[in-house]
């Protein structure tokens, strides 16, 4: 197979959650550029409409479906919309997630469970719904976890626990679904997104950059490139693995 074909998604159909901005948007556009038809899912219709527009400008086909991943009816409608439009699902990217830093002594069970469900349970639920299509098409799942899953750092007991669980779920599902469905993950480090931007000023960004071995913060395209590899034929012999894309950081770059 020619090298360009190894990284082609021609003929694939991908669902990407959290595709309205940031990492999810970058993944959707990269997949479209690689030839996939993409279904962009997020809660805000205007955001995913814009992502889908950029995917089409990149030469791909795209559908925008408003979806709250914590709503099981929305997830079922998302899967149905994808199959109705494109006839199949061959790639699922569970990117929707996130949580604010927290004080463990002030975090009640409701908040902790909400963060866990948003980052872990929703990914499992959508994977279950997509499994028949993924099996029929020998597809693959990519979970976007986080470097926080492996760092020991103050202030992230809720988010870090959830992402560590998603990391382990990725490995366990890879064992459950082998040999016909591959399941992998990407663990981003400090990525310049709107979500991070609310915490940044020039001084904080300089501190985070200094704590990163490669002396720069990441961009959404860095994560999209790793996801494209895992989704493509180039990774046909890769399952149950997490690609760490973090500028070489082996401990937290959070400067607070």
Closest CA to 250 of 211, 215, 203: 211
Mean pLDDT of the chain: 97
- CATH fold, domain 3-190+225-244, is Rossmann fold (3.40.50)
Q: Is 213 exposed, middle or buried (0-12, 13-18, 19+ CB in 10 A)?
A: exposed
Average pLDDT over residues 196-205: 89
| Selected catalytic residue, list 86, 100, 159, 229 | 159
Residue 117 has pLDDT above 90, yes or no: yes
Q: DSSP class of residue 117?
A: I
Cα-only R_g, the chain: 17
The predicted-structure confidence for 28-48, as pLDDT tens digits, reads as follows 999 999 999 999 999 999 999
Told to judge if 159 belongs to the known catalytic residues of this protein, a careful annotator would answer yes
The predicted-structure confidence for 48-57, as pLDDT tens digits, reads as follows 999 999 999 9
What's residue 196's pLDDT?
86
Rounded to whole angstroms, the Cα distance separating 106 from 103 reads 5
What's residue 255's pLDDT?
87
Tokens of 70: 């914590």
What's residue 12's pLDDT?
98
Residue 198 banded pLDDT, cuts 50, 70, 90: confident
Average pLDDT over residues 124-144: 98
Query: In whole angstroms, how far apart are CA 160 and each of 104, 197, 232?
Result: 12, 19, 28
Residue partners of 97: CB distance under 8 A and separation at least 6? 18, 118, 119, 122, 123, 144, 162, 163, 166
What's residue 145's pLDDT?
98
All structural domains of the chain with their residue ranges? 3-190+225-244
Rounded to whole angstroms, the Cα distance separating 238 from 6 reads 13
What's residue 17's pLDDT?
98
Average pLDDT over residues 178-185: 98
> What is the DSSP track for 128-182?
HHHHHHHHHTT-EEEEE--GGGT---TT-HHHHHHHHHHHHHHHHHHHHHTTTSE
Rounded to whole angstroms, the Cα distance separating 147 from 186 reads 9
């Amino acid at each position: 197979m020619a090298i360009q074909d190894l990284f082609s998604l021609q003929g694939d159909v991908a669902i990407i959650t959290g595709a309205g901005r940031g990492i999810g948007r970058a993944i959707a556009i990269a997949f479209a550029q690689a030839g996939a038809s993409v279904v962009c899912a997020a809660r805000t219709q205007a955001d995913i409409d814009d992502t889908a527009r950029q995917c089409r400008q990149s030469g791909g086909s795209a559908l925008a479906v408003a979806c709250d991943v914590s709503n099981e009816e929305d997830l079922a409608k998302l899967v149905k919309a994808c199959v109705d439009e494109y006839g199949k699902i061959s790639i699922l990217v569970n990117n929707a997630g996130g949580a604010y830093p927290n004080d463990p002594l002030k975090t009640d069970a409701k908040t902790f469970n909400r963060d866990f469900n948003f980052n872990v349970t929703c990914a499992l639920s959508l994977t279950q719904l997509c499994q028949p299509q993924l099996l029929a098409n020998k597809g693959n799942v990519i979970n976007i976890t986080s470097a926080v899953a492996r760092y020991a750092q103050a202030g992230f007991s809720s988010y870090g626990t959830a992402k560590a669980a998603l990391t382990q779920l990725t490995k366990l599902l890879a064992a459950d679904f082998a040999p016909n469905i591959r399941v992998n993950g990407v663990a981003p480090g400090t990525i310049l997104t709107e979500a991070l931007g609310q915490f940044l000023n020039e001084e904080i960004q300089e501190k985070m950059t200094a704590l990163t071995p490669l002396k720069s913060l990441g961009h959404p395209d860095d994560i999209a490139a790793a996801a494209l590899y895992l989704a493509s034929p180039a990774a046909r012999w890769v399952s149950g693995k997490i690609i760490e894309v973090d500028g070489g950081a082996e401990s937290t770059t959070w400067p607070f």
